[in-house]
Amino acid sequence: MAHGLVGGPAPACHDEYMKSFAIKVLVNGVALWVAAHLVQGIQLAGSHASTSSQFVTLLWVAVIFAVLNALIKPIMTVLSLPVIILTLGLFALIVNAAMLELTSWFAGQFNLAFHVDQFFWDAVIGSIIITIVSMVMRMVLPDD
For residue 131, what pLDDT is reported?
92
Identify any residues that bridge with 44 across adjacent strands, giving them in sequence order: 114
pTM of the model: 0.82
Q: How far apart are CA 85 and CA 104, in angstroms?
A: 27
Do you know the residue count of the chain?
144
In this predicted model, what pLDDT tens digit does every residue of 71-101 receive, in sequence order?
A: 999 999 999 999 999 999 999 999 999 999 9
The two beta strands, 114-116 and 42-44, are antiparallel
For residue 22, what pLDDT is reported?
87
Residues in CB range of 64: below 8 A, 6 or more apart: 103, 106, 107, 110, 112
Taking the domains of the chain in order of start, what are their residue ranges? Answer: 13-140
Positions of E strands within the chain: 42-44, 114-116
Asked if residue 144 has pLDDT above 60, the reply is: no
